[in-house]
Structure 1
Amino acid sequence: MSETLLVTGASGQLGRLVLNALLTSGKVAPADIIATSRDPSKLSAYAEKGVQTRKADFDDAASLATAFAGADRVLVVSTDALDAPGKRLVQHTAAINAAKVAGAKHILYTSMPNPENSAVIFAPEHLGSEAAVKATGLPYTILRNGWYMENLFMGLPHAFSEGKWYTSAGEGKIAHIARADIAAAIADALTSGSTESKTYTLTGTVARTSSEIAEIASKIVGKPLDVVTITDEQLTGGLQAAGLPPFLIPVVVSFDTNTREGKIAMVTDDAKTLSGKPLTSIETFFETNKAAFAG
C-alpha cells in the first residue's frame, strides 16, 4: 500500500504490538510506517528495521506538528495520564487536531467500551476524545478496546498468594481479550485503506463473572482461588491498606462498579472480523502465564 501510517505511543505496550502486527502483516513497507514516542530512543529496534521514528509529546504542540507531517492515517493511542482528571482529554484533543492540521486523511483512536454509559471515572475523557475526532470532519475509526486479559496481572498473582480474590464486581461479567488480539485488529484497521467512519468494540468471545474466571484460573494454575465479594467501600479500604497510589484507587474501584452494573458485559465479533484470526482464549492465557500467577 502507498499510504503512510502513523502510530503514537509506539514505545508503549499496545503501540509496540501494533507495530509488530503491521510489520508482520506484509501489507505495508517499514518505510511507510511512522512510529512516535516521547522518547524515540526506545524505538531504536524499529528504526533498524526501516521504520521512521519521531518524537511526539502530546503536551508539546510543536513536536506534534513535526511528528505528524506526511502521515495519511494516524492512530492516536490514548495516553496513561490518570493522575490529573481531564488531562488525557486535553492531550488527545491536541494530537487529534494536530493530525488534521498536518494533512491526515483518516484518524483512528483507541477508546473504551460504552463510554456513553460507564461507571469508569475516566470514561468521559474517552467520550470527549471521540467527539474531538468526529469534530475534525475527517473519516475516522473509533476502536473501543475491551478489558485486556493482561489486566488480570494487576491483582490475581497477589490473590493467588492468599487464595482469595477480593472484588466488588459481584455477578457482573467481562469478555476479556488479549492485548495482542486488539493490536492485530487495530493493525488491520490501519492498513485497510477504508474511507468510511466506523466504531468498533473489541472484546473477547465469552463474558464471564469473577467466579467463573477464578474457577478456570485455579484449575490451570493448580492453586485454590476463592472469590470474596465485598463492597466498593471495603475495596477502597483494602487498596488504601495495600498502598496503592491515592489517585489510582477510585479508578480501580470504578472498574468493579462498572462490571457489577453490567456495563462492560458486551460481546462482539469485531476484533475477530477485523483481524481475520481466532482470538486467544482465557484458558490459553492462563496456560501461557501459569508461572506468573502461581508465584
Structure 2
Amino acid sequence: MTENLLVTGASGHLGRAVVNHLLDAQKIPPASVIATTRNPENLADLAARGVSVRAADFDDQASLEKAFTGADRVLIISTGELDLKSDRRLRQHKAAVAAAKAAGVSHLLYTSMPNPEPTSPVLFAGDHYGTEQAIKASGIPYTIFRNGWYQENLFLALPQAIASGKWYTSAADGRIAHVARDDMAAAIAASLASGSKESQIYTLTGPEAYTTTEIAAMVSDVTGKPLEVIQVPDEALTEGVKAAGLPEDFARIIVSFDANTRSGRIAMVTDAVETLSGRKPRTLKQFLEANKTALLG
C-alpha cells in the first residue's frame, strides 16, 4: 500500500517543485500526494492532476492537524515569516510539529539550513535550530534537510552588480556552494518518496564551493561584463543595501549571509543531492549561462 505523502507550502517555488518531482520523477500516484497551502485556489493545476489539495494555516494548529490527517510522511517546508522582532516563524514550525504528532504522522521531514546552531551569524538561524530541537523532541522519526543557498539567490545581488560593474560584499574569502532549487527539490522528493524510516540529517549543496571573487570572474566570463568585487565591513554593506531601497531588517538578514560565508560555516560541499536524487546537480557555470539574459537585465 502506497504511503500518503504531504508537502506543506506547496504553492511556493520549492514546495511546488517537490510535488512535481513526486508525480513525474518518483511516479507517485496523484491520489497519494497531499499538497497544502493557505490558499488552495493557487493549486488548482495540481488538483486537476488528481493531487489532494488541502488548506493549512501555520498560524492555526487546528487547521494543520486537519490537513495532516491521513498523511504518513509529512514534509514541513520552512515558512517565509522572516520577522526579526518576533518568534512567529518558530511558533509556526512548532505548531506544525505538534500537529504532525497529533495526526499520527509516521515520518517528519523538514527544510532547515546548514549549521543552524545559536552561534550562527545568520539572523534567522535560531528558527531552524529551535525547529530541529522540537522535531527531535517529538519522538517522530525524521529527515532534516539542511538546505544550502540557492543559485537563484544570486539574483538578489548580481543584476545590480553587473550593471554597475561593482559587487559589494563582506564575505571576504569565504566559500559557498550554491545549489539549484530544482536539484534540491528533486533530492527532497526522492527522500520523501523513499519510505525510509531512519532518522537522518542531510546537508544539500552544489557540487563546488567558490569565493565571491571566483564567482565574479565566472560571471564576467559568461556575460562579457567586467565585475569588480569590493570588500566592505558589514555595517557599510547594510547601509548600502538599505540605500538600494530594502527595509532595514531585510538588509540586516542579507548582510548576515555574507557574515556567515566569511565565517566558513557554509563552505561545505556534499554529494547528498546526487545521492538522493540520482542525478548530477547543475553547476554554477551552467546556472549563469542559462540565466545570462536575466542577469544582464
Q: Normalising TM by the smaller chain, what interval?
A: over 0.9
Asked whether the equivalents of residues 89 and 126 of structure 1 are also in contact (C-alpha less than 8 Å), the reply is yes
Q: Matched residues in 1 for 2:28 and 2:257: separation?
A: 37
Aligned amino acid, residue 188 of structure 1: A
Q: Matched residues in 1 for 2:244 and 2:133: separation?
A: 37
Asked whether the equivalents of residues 173 and 212 of structure 2 are also in contact (C-alpha less than 8 Å), the reply is yes
**2:52 maps to 1:43:** no
**2:283 maps to 1:281:** yes
Task: Name stretches of at least 5 consecutive residues in structure 1 with no aligned partner.
Answer: none
In the other structure, the counterpart of 2:126 is: 124
In the other structure, the counterpart of 2:147 is: 145
In the other structure, the counterpart of 1:237 is: 239
> Residues 107-118 of structure 1: matches in 2 within 5 Å?
107-116=108-117, 117-118=119-120
> Residues 65-76 of structure 1: matches in 2 within 5 Å?
65-76=65-76
1:26 deviates by 3.9
Asked whether the equivalents of residues 31 and 51 of structure 1 are also in contact (C-alpha less than 8 Å), the reply is yes
- SS for the counterpart of 2:207 is coil
**2:158 maps to 1:156:** yes
Which of residues 218, 221, 224 is equivalent to 2:220? 218
In the other structure, the counterpart of 2:209 is: 207
Asked whether the equivalents of residues 175 and 266 of structure 1 are also in contact (C-alpha less than 8 Å), the reply is yes
Aligned amino acid, residue 92 of structure 1: H
- SS for the counterpart of 1:228 is strand
- SS for the counterpart of 1:35 is strand
Asked whether the equivalents of residues 85 and 122 of structure 1 are also in contact (C-alpha less than 8 Å), the reply is no
In the other structure, the counterpart of 2:261 is: 259
> Residues 19-58 of structure 1: matches in 2 within 5 Å?
19-58=19-58
Asked whether the equivalents of residues 187 and 274 of structure 2 are also in contact (C-alpha less than 8 Å), the reply is yes
1:259 deviates by 0.5
Q: Matched residues in 2 for 1:21 and 1:225: separation?
A: 36
Task: Give TM-score scaled by structure 2 length.
Answer: 0.97
Which string of whole-angstrom CA distances, capped at 9 and with x for unpartnered residues, describes residues 216-254 of structure 1? 111111211111111101101101211211221211111
Q: Matched residues in 2 for 1:152 and 1:80: separation?
A: 18
1:63 deviates by 1.1
In the other structure, the counterpart of 2:101 is: 100
In the other structure, the counterpart of 1:173 is: 175
In the other structure, the counterpart of 1:197 is: 199
Q: Matched residues in 2 for 1:288 and 1:151: separation?
A: 15
Asked whether the equivalents of residues 223 and 294 of structure 1 are also in contact (C-alpha less than 8 Å), the reply is no
Q: Matched residues in 1 for 2:237 and 2:254: separation?
A: 9
Q: Matched residues in 1 for 2:115 and 2:86: separation?
A: 19
Aligned amino acid, residue 158 of structure 1: Q
Asked whether the equivalents of residues 26 and 189 of structure 2 are also in contact (C-alpha less than 8 Å), the reply is no
Q: Matched residues in 2 for 1:281 and 1:265: separation?
A: 16
Aligned amino acid, residue 22 of structure 1: L
Q: Matched residues in 2 for 1:262 and 1:246: separation?
A: 25
Q: Matched residues in 1 for 2:107 and 2:171: separation?
A: 37
Q: Matched residues in 1 for 2:215 and 2:82: separation?
A: 27
Aligned amino acid, residue 8 of structure 1: T
In the other structure, the counterpart of 2:92 is: 91
Aligned residues: 295
**Which deviates more from structure 2 when the two are superposed, residues 112-121 or residues 279-288?**
112-121
Q: Matched residues in 2 for 1:220 and 1:240: separation?
A: 29
1:205 deviates by 1.2
RMSD, aligned α-carbons: 0.9
1:258 deviates by 0.5
Which string of whole-angstrom CA distances, capped at 9 and with x for unpartnered residues, describes residues 121-151 of structure 1? 1111101100111111011000000000000
Q: Matched residues in 1 for 2:169 and 2:147: separation?
A: 22
Asked whether the equivalents of residues 189 and 274 of structure 1 are also in contact (C-alpha less than 8 Å), the reply is yes
1:282 deviates by 0.6
Q: Matched residues in 1 for 2:121 and 2:274: separation?
A: 27
1:16 deviates by 0.8
Q: Matched residues in 2 for 1:199 and 1:279: separation?
A: 19
- Give every structure 1 segment of 4 or more consecutive aligned residues whose post-TM-superposition deviation is greater than 3 Å: none
